Amino acid sequence: MKQLRVMGLALAAVFCAGQANAEELTGTLKNIKETGAITIGYRDSSIPFSYLDDNQKPIGFAIDICYKIVDALKKELKLDKLEVKLNPVTSSTRIPLLANGTIDLECGSTTNNPERLKQVAFTNTHFLTATRFVSKKSSKLNSIDDLKGKSVASSSGTTNIKQLTEANAARNLGINIIPAKEHAESFLMVETDRAVATVLDDILLASFVAGSKDPDAYVISTDAFSKPEPYGIMLRKDDPAFKKVVDAATAALYQSAEGQKLYDKWFMQKIPPKGLNLNAPISAELKHEFAKPSDSPDPDSYKAM
């Protein structure tokens, strides 16, 4: 028995020595290398960041960024083939699905804030947006206080619904908050007059209004529930090796001319499926951030220069 134990220890020592020479892969990188696959979480209707086109295929600004991250991972892990699996997520399932390993990267319109950083990590910011509300022009709702006592929709699991809930309590507005499962449903509530307004990130509202049957009937409020907050692609916490690769990939993309082209493709040109052009030029703060990529959750840290 003693001989067996000594042999066992010797074998272990040999193996350990062998491993120490090879790269010590941990966490998500290890998983990707072993399985040869990475799973990306996409959204149904976060136009133009991550949404389904007419063939039910996920496309969008964030999806393209994620594919670039996948290319970088392929190079880093020296893989010939890296299979990309796609998994739908909603605003309320994205964080639990990331934490329980169903997805490795969440590519959509997720706001980076200190609260979420307790559960997940974010890579460099890819957009800045503030929370506003959209309503029909005929309702004549201009400010947040005009929403007093009315029915207002928002998507569950978003920072938007949280900000709406907090504003409702703080300003004592008595709003009847209707949670919807996805952004398309939130906007549909206003279209069908179930809610007088819906509260979402202003870029998403702009996309929905532009793509609706009657864009002129709607108006997006100038009043905002928050300062412009950063969107980031989500990944698991406590995985520094993976984050390093992702951060490097996104930084390289944003700083290059390709990053600018990608932005123009989704915000300044016609996008599928209906060919609408959002015509949203890059804001000064975002331009500055692309030059100096940052993954900070603090809205105040994003200045125009």
157 binds another protein (CB under 8 A): yes
Is residue 102 a contact point for another protein (CB under 8 A)? yes
For position 139 contacting another protein by CB under 8 A, the verdict is: no
Indicate the residue among 81 and 118 with the shorter CB distance to another protein: 118
44 binds another protein (CB under 8 A): yes
Binding segment toward another protein, per CB under 8 A, in 16-24, 156-164, 259-267, 290-298: 156-164
Indicate whether 151 belongs to the interface with another protein (CB under 8 A): yes
Residue from 217, 7, 3, 236 nearest 116 by CA: 236
Q: With beta carbons less than 8 A apart as the criterion, state whether 116 and 235 touch.
A: no
User: What sign results for the dihedral spanned by CA atoms 167, 129, 286, 252?
Assistant: positive
Considering only 236, 249, 266, 293, the residue that binds another protein (CB under 8 A) is 236
Which segment (13-21, 57-65, 160-168, 284-292) binds another protein by CB under 8 A? 160-168
- Please choose, out of 13-21, 133-141, 164-172, 281-289, the segment that lies near another protein by the rule CB under 8 A: 164-172
Is residue 39 a contact point for another protein (CB under 8 A)?
yes
Phi, psi of 275 (to 5 degrees): 70, 30
The rounded distance, in Å, linking the Cα atoms of 204 and 62 is 13
Report the Cα–Cα distance between both ends of the chain, in Å, rounded.
71
Does 87 participate in binding another protein (rule CB under 8 A)? yes
* 152 three-class SS: strand
The piece of 65-73, 187-195, 198-206, 290-298 that touches another protein (CB under 8 A) is 187-195
Could you give phi then psi for residue 288, rounded to 5 degrees?
-65, -40
The CA-based angle 255-261-265, given to 5 degrees, is: 140
Is there binding between residue 282 and another protein (CB under 8 A)?
Answer: no
Residue type, position 115, single letter: E
272 is a site residue for another protein (CB under 8 A): no
Q: Taking contact as CB under 8 A, which single stretch among the options 232-240, 259-267, 284-292, 296-304 is the one that binds another protein?
A: 232-240
- Give the integer Cα–Cα distance in Å for 107 and 50: 7
- Minimum Å distance from CB 137 to another protein? 17
Alpha-carbon span 18 to 32, nearest angstrom: 21
- Nearest approach, Cβ of 188 to another protein (angstroms)? 6
Tell how strand 50-52 and strand 45-46 pair up: antiparallel
Nearest to 297 by CA among 160, 115, 66: 115
Q: Does 198 bind another protein (CB under 8 A)?
A: no
| Host H or E run for residue 6 | helix 2-21
Token pair for 255: 């700083």
**Residues found near another protein in the complex (CB under 8 A):** 27, 31, 39, 44-45, 52, 56, 87-88, 90, 92-93, 95-97, 99-102, 116, 118-119, 151, 156-157, 162, 165-166, 168-170, 176, 178-182, 184-185, 188, 191-194, 213, 236-238
